[in-house]
Amino acid sequence: MLSQRTIEVIKSTVPVLEIHGTAITTRFYNMLFTAHPELLDIFNHANQKQGKQQAALANAVYAAALHIDRLEMILPVVKQIAHKHRSLGVQAEHYPIVGQHLLAAIKDVLGDAASEEILQAWGEAYGVIADAFIGIEADMYEQAKTQAGGWAGFKPFRIIQKVKESDVITSFYMTPLDGGALAAFEPGQYISVNVHIPGEEHAQIRQYSLSDASDKPYYRISVKREDAIVDRPAGKVSVYLHEQKEVGDILSISAPAGDFTLDQRDSRPVVLISGGVGLTPMVSMLNTLAIAKPARQVTFIHAAHNGRLHALKQQVETVAQQNSNLSFHWCYEKPTEQDLTEPAFHKQGYIDLNWLQTVVPVKEASYYFCGPVPFMKAIHDALLEWGIPAEDLHYEFFGPAGSL
């Protein structure tokens, strides 16, 4: 337990963290990787270069300071991050290293404003928070290893099928190289793929949602190829998978993880809303519902640039043909002439509240959504404006957690 004085000191740093948090975390990562370059085998380099990881850590530190007297308030976030840590292979011995460099970064950025009392208080607080992570992650590692078909660390899987789903998304079907059983997973969970790209000094780990139900004899991920654009370099791993990995090749993956999962105990109608490659966890949820809860009313809504970039479309329509409780709706920003002739095409432009109110048959439902951050912000705000309770909104960020 933290002393009252420690809590007061941590609370007093909240305004400073609001202003200087990202500068502190940016400096932290610079110091950490200079002293321990081997940790670059764990971290997502693209998120580092784009500043996403620095911003996410700054938000986490700020939240910890804000709720230091009620740490149970941030427990859901701790569990969400712990899932990612377990999937990446973060170990207990990494925490003292992180703590050392985080305190050093606070001192380096804030200078004399970071008094000895402040650094001591943050050191004490970090120890409490780190112990919470270590304990939760130890349980997750044990569960991943001991569950039926489970394993520790990364395990080799063979690609048994590679299917182009759209102009930019390709699915990879994989089975264990040892021929063993597959660990079950919750619809919405992801796996980490660990690759060593020729010419790259460090391993590259990326997390991809499983895009099919858990009852299949394979794992499937559907990967969007991230080509270079004006303000973003090409995605090294996605391009590597698309161009270099073929049927028969081996990929090292971690056991399924993640807390963005379908609540299968809920019997209310469910609305699944996705944008772009954000449909991957939604298709997993859809396929699971079709098998396990065929009587549950499901509305599946997907937004894409146009039909050429719409992956897994035929699969969703096939499921709908087999289940009268499922309806689906497509929204294309810039539909092609062929799209305009499709009977399933419903809207041109963007998903907005007025349209949602016409296609969602029952307002009192559970809402799950995933896609690019601007898309999720728009959906989030629209649903709140409609009066949907916040506890009925469930969403997933691809990459470091952010805020809507």
Give the active site residues: 95, 137
Is 99 within 8 Å of 126 (Cβ atoms)? yes
400 is in an annotated binding site: yes
398 is in an annotated binding site: yes
- What is the rounded distance in angstroms from the CA atom of residue 45 to the CA atom of residue 233? 11
161 is in an annotated binding site: no
286 is in an annotated binding site: no
Using CA of residue 159, residue 139, residue 258, residue 77, what is the dihedral sign?
A: negative
Residues 6+ positions from 270 with CB-CB distance below 8 Å = 262, 285, 289, 296, 297, 298, 299, 365, 366, 367, 368
209 is in an annotated binding site: yes
- What is the rounded distance in angstroms from the CA atom of residue 332 to the CA atom of residue 199? 39
281 is in an annotated binding site: yes
397 is in an annotated binding site: yes
- How far CA 299 is from CA of 187, 316, 320, 326, in Å, comes to 16, 11, 10, 6
399 is in an annotated binding site: yes
- What is the rounded distance in angstroms from the CA atom of residue 122 to the CA atom of residue 79? 21
Alpha-carbon Rg for the chain in angstroms? 22
367 is in an annotated binding site: no
**How is residue 269 annotated by DSSP?**
-
280 is in an annotated binding site: yes
374 is in an annotated binding site: no
276 is in an annotated binding site: yes
Is 121 within 8 Å of 9 (Cβ atoms)? yes
Annotated binding site for heme b: 85
Annotated binding site: 85, 190, 206-209, 276-281, 397-400
